[in-house]
């Protein structure tokens, strides 16, 4: 058995025979109640639209910007009235500092309501705006501290619209746009610099290849020819000839010159095509320079190998090779390690030995007539890398080369912000490590 609750409201007393039965739990009954309430609200809104509401209301449709009172500036303001009676008018006020000022002028305080219930006028700038619905016999005060209420049938107050440069989103938007412009300009400049560097390194590589070809075709071939003719002459000498030992020493010396010349030409014409070639090239350095016996040499690779940019790979190899050659020839070490660390943020080359070390004065200014350290610093600065040499007499030497990932690798997983920081770091190092020509 279904129980029902009969509700009779004041509305039902005005509408004959109207009652609402609301089931306390029944879901269809709730829907019926919702529809009836919506219809009643719609009727109330329609009554406002038709001017049948017992209480008139005012709303604004166009509000000026907020500002300080300025007698030389006026702005448009408009709105509409629901439920106004014939003869009623609108009185506008603008709030400035501590008082309300009648608008637009003291001798024109009334704004007429049009036939479509809309009104429009002008007003001076203010922090807030008020519209009052008054009768024809109303005498509006010109500058009250508090809005009048006697003789006012309806009122509405609204704040002035803020200028867009005063909105909360204006400053963040300016920051975002400025950052986007700076980032775009930076990327454009970096792309232009990369093109110029690529062209410069290609020209250098072509010039080195040309010099290596000429040296091979002239100097090295001439020394080889002279060595072969001298070898034939020595073979024709008797075994007990007194000049034979001297000529044999000359042949040995010429052989070393030829070997060193070949190594030099190989270096001039080398082009490290991949990270694996870089590791193999460092591994061949002891055979190329003639590593003394008793030295433990190791090449250690950390991380996954990544393809190198052509414009920096040869300089990375030259710096590492120079550090190894110095260790083999001058360190008198028993162990030499070369470590390659591949990380998306940087490529790190570390050459460490346990030899006699480098004197502090030599470490700062270099040895007279030798350009190894200064040449390494110049190459590192040219590619935007960081070179650090740590050594003390009798304590061994460490040479560390760090190249930012977006400079060293063909493709780097670094984010845009890290690339931007790497580029700033690169320019800073160039200024610090620039070597006068």
54 inside domain: no
- How far is Cα 158 from Cα 79, in angstroms, rounded to an integer? 11
Q: Give the pLDDT confidence score for residue 416 in this predicted structure.
A: 46
- How far is Cα 347 from Cα 333, in angstroms, rounded to an integer? 26
> Has this prediction a pTM greater than 0.85?
no
233 inside domain: yes
The pLDDT tens digits for 231-241 are: 888 888 888 88
Continuous segment of H or E residues that includes residue 242: none
**Based on the domain organization, do 177 and 153 belong to the same domain?**
no
Confidence check: pLDDT of 167 > 80: no
278 inside domain: yes
Q: Longest C-alpha distance within the chain, in Å? A: 149
Q: For the domain that residue 128 is a member of, what is the CATH number?
A: 2.60.40
Characterise 396 by phi-psi region: left (phi > 0), alpha (psi -120 to 50), beta (else): left
232 inside domain: yes
Q: Which of 253, 269, 285 lies at the terminal end of a domain, its last residue?
A: 269
**Based on the domain organization, do 17 and 149 belong to the same domain?**
no
Using 50, 70 and 90 to split pLDDT, how confident is the model at 405?
confident
**Based on the domain organization, do 407 and 298 belong to the same domain?**
yes
**Based on the domain organization, do 265 and 172 belong to the same domain?**
yes
Q: Bridge partners of 403? A: 347
Using 50, 70 and 90 to split pLDDT, how confident is the model at 18?
very low
**Based on the domain organization, do 142 and 174 belong to the same domain?**
no
Q: Are 197 and 311 in contact (CB under 8 A)?
A: yes
**Based on the domain organization, do 315 and 430 belong to the same domain?**
yes
**Based on the domain organization, do 263 and 336 belong to the same domain?**
no
The pLDDT tens digits for 271-299 are: 454 445 788 888 888 887 777 778 889 99
269/318: higher pLDDT: 318
Q: Give the pLDDT confidence score for residue 15 in this predicted structure.
A: 32
User: How far is C-alpha 282 from the geometric centre of its chain's CA atoms?
Assistant: 36
Domain that holds residue 252: 168-269
Q: Which of 133, 164, 195 lies at the terminal end of a domain, its last residue?
A: 164
47/312: higher pLDDT: 312
**Based on the domain organization, do 106 and 138 belong to the same domain?**
yes
Write out the DSSP string of 170-209.
Answer: HHHHHHHHHHHHHHHHHHHHHHHHHHHHHHHHHHHHHHHH
Most confident range, picked from 143-147, 201-205, 219-223, 253-257: 143-147
**Based on the domain organization, do 9 and 130 belong to the same domain?**
no
**Based on the domain organization, do 122 and 219 belong to the same domain?**
no
- How far is Cα 220 from Cα 232, in angstroms, rounded to an integer? 18
257 inside domain: yes
Q: Which of 106, 141, 164 lies at the terminal end of a domain, its last residue?
A: 164
Q: Work out how many domains the chain is built from and give that number.
A: 4
Token pair, residue 413, equals: 């997983």
Using 50, 70 and 90 to split pLDDT, how confident is the model at 22?
very low
Q: For the domain that residue 314 is a member of, what is the CATH number?
A: 3.30.565.10
**Based on the domain organization, do 190 and 159 belong to the same domain?**
no
Phi, then psi, of 370 in degrees rounded to 5: -120, 135
User: What value does the mean pLDDT take over residues 414-436?
Assistant: 47
**Based on the domain organization, do 295 and 430 belong to the same domain?**
yes
């Amino acid at each position: 058995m279904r129980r029902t609750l009969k509700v009779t409201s004041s509305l039902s007393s005005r509408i004959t025979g109207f009652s609402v039965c609301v089931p306390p739990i029944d879901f269809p009954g709730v829907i019926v109640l919702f529809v009836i309430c919506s219809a009643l609200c719609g009727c109330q809104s329609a009554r406002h639209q038709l001017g049948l509401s017992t209480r008139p209301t005012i709303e604004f449709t166009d509000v000026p910007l907020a500002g300080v009172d300025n007698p030389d500036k006026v702005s448009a303001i408009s709105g509409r009235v629901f439920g106004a009676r014939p003869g009623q008018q609108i009185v506008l006020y603008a709030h400035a500092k501590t008082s309300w000022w009648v608008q637009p002028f003291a001798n024109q305080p009334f704004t007429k309501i049009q036939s479509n219930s809309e009104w429009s006028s002008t007003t001076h700038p203010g922090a807030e705006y008020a519209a009052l619905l008054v009768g024809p016999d109303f005498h509006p005060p010109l500058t009250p501290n508090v809005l009048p209420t006697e003789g006012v049938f309806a009122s509405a107050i609204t704040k002035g619209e803020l200028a867009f440069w005063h909105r909360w989103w204006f400053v963040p938007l300016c920051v975002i746009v400025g950052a986007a412009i700076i980032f775009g300009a930076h990327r454009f400049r970096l792309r232009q610099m990369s093109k110029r560097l690529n062209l410069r390194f290609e020209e250098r590589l072509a010039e080195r290849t040309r010099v290596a070809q000429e040296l091979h075709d002239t100097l090295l071939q001439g020394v080889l020819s002279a060595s072969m003719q001298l070898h034939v002459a020595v073979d024709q000498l008797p075994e007990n000839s007194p000049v034979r030992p001297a000529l044999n020493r000359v042949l040995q010396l010429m052989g070393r010159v030829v070997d060193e010349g070949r190594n030099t030409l190989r270096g001039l014409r080398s082009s490290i095509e991949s990270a694996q070639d870089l590791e193999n090239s460092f591994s061949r350095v002891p055979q190329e320079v003639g590593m003394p016996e008793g030295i433990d040499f190791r090449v250690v690779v950390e991380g996954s190998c990544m393809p190198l940019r052509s414009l920096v790979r040869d300089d990375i190899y030259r710096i590492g090779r120079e550090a190894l050659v110095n260790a083999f020839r001058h360190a008198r070490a028993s162990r030499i390690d070369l470590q390659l660390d591949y990380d998306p943020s940087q490529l790190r080359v570390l050459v460490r030995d346990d030899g006699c070390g480098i004197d502090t004065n030599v470490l700062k200014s270099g040895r007279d007539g030798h350009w190894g350290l200064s040449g390494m610093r110049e190459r590192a600065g040219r590619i935007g890398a960081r070179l650090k040499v740590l050594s003390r007499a009798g304590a061994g030497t460490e040479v560390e080369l760090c190249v930012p990932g977006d400079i060293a690798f063909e493709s780097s997983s670094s984010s845009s912000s890290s690339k931007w920081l790497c580029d700033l770091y690169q320019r800073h190092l160039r200024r610090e490590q620039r070597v006068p020509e």
